[in-house]
Amino acid sequence: MAAGKEIRTQIKSVENTRKITKAMEMVAASKMRRAQERMKAARPYAEKIANVATHLAYAHTEYKHPFVIARENVRRVGLVIVTSDKGLCGGLNTNALRLVMTQLKQWNAAGVEVDVSAIGNKGLGFMQRLGANVVSQLTGIGDTPRLETLIGPVKIMLDAYMEGRIDALFIVYNRFVNTMKQEPTLTQLLPLAKLASEDEASLKTHWDYIYEPDAQPVVDAMLKRYIESLVYQAVAENIACEQSARMVAMKAASDNAKNVIGELKLIYNKTRQAAITKELSEIVAGAAAV
Amino acid sequence: MAMTIHVDIVSAEKALYSGSAEVVIAPGQRGELGIHPRHTPLLTTLKPGTVRMKLPDQAEEVMIYVSGGILEVQPHVVTILSDTAIRGNDLDEAKALEAKRAAEDAMKNREASLDYAKAQAELAEAIAQLATIEKLRRRI
């Protein structure tokens, strides 16, 4: 019965694995709901600030902010990579990083250098192994992203843009489509693309804001917050993606463990029965010999 | 019925208020601003403080605390983008430095000036919060 015992321990260990994956699945499911709510809660701000930014783009300001002026030749770009801190979430980070790789290759071919700001452990590790120029990093965001913690890494990129060290800024994150589908996305943050507006006609007329105290500080503060809100939104979406991807991955793992246990049990019972049959036939043969 | 203006108060992490009001009073950078319907377009930064709104058919004013932010006025819409974080140039700089340091692992003796700036901003916020509480209490 040596084989039987081995199979029994194997079954036990797979069962333990299944318990863990099952627990992780349930934890991810409950966290996912909260992450999605948080993502939705951040939407009004993002919409409102995008509205204001659109209005600003149509206003006839005497002051043009550098963020809205596109630069002719791009020599160096900034890239914010949003990934999760932990693994065990399927191909989520791999997909995002693959997108990063193809983009990096394109930039490389065009002779464009890249500064990286890594948000999340996985992307950071990847970029460090790659030997990319990581100028800032942020890890350990947890389940509740705080705008406060994001200000730092974003500011480094914005400062670099203002000083002309980078000529464009991009962000890579996983866009939340639904629980089963996450889409790695690369979007341009700077220079700001012209935003589409629903009430375009009414805004075309010649007008401008009254600025208090002056146009420049107000527009600066406004656009800075706009970029930050975009990054915040990306991080919130990425967390929702992480949790749902983990839930799906863990569900697959639990199902798989269940199948493995079934197969192992079948083999175990077969060997057990074969042993019994063998013993019986030996006894019968022994009795016949007497 | 008096004219009303639509007000949206949002912070990065959630929506705080949405509805119409007769007057909105906000703590602008250069002092309090009272905004009535059909105000000319205006864009300003806010100090930490209380936003007060007079709602139609209600004697009581609604008060909402904001820790700074941006106020946009269009003739019929007021949008307040409230900050969630305590901010200040020094503080933002501090955060940037922190993120940088994590990447470069090279920063020395910055703590002192950092702590001071942070304490100052927190104090300003605490005072503003206390003022809001005081105002609310006086009404009760």
Mutate to test the interface with A, among B9, B45, B98, B101 (most CBs of A within 10 A): B45
More confident residue, B2 or A26: A26
Nearest chain A Cα distance for residue B61, angstroms: 24
Q: Is residue B41 within 8 angstroms of chain A, CB to CB?
A: yes
Given CB atoms, is B14 within the 8 Å cutoff of chain A? yes
Q: Which of A212, A237, A239 to mutate to test the interface with B (most CBs of B within 10 A)?
A: A212
Q: How high is the pLDDT of residue B92?
A: 67
3-class SS of residue A195 = coil
Spatial CB neighbours of B33, under 8 Å, sequence gap ≥ 6: A212, B25, B26, B27, B42, B44, B71
Cβ–Cβ below 8 Å for A221 and B97: no
* Cβ <8 Å between B10 and A45: yes
Q: Cβ–Cβ of B41/A59 closer than 8 Å?
A: yes
Cα-Cα-Cα-Cα dihedral sign, residues A87, A89, A91, A97: negative
Backbone torsion region of residue A258, taken as left when φ is above 0, otherwise alpha when ψ lies between -120 and 50, otherwise beta: alpha
Quote the pTM value.
0.81
The per-residue pLDDT for range A36-87, each reduced to its tens digit, is: 998 888 888 888 888 888 788 777 667 778 887 888 888 899 999 999 988 8
Give A127-170 pLDDT, tens digit per residue.
888 888 888 888 888 888 888 888 888 888 999 998 889 999 99
What separation in angstroms does the CA of B103 have from each of A77, A140, A153, B100? Answer: 18, 14, 10, 5
Using pLDDT thresholds of 50, 70 and 90, give the confidence band for residue A201: low
ipTM for this model: 0.71
Interface membership of A143 toward B (CB under 8 Å)? no
Q: pLDDT tens digit string along A244-282?
A: 999 999 999 999 999 999 999 999 999 999 999 999 999
Q: Which residues of B touch A219 (CB under 8 A)?
A: 43
Q: What is the pLDDT of residue A203?
A: 56
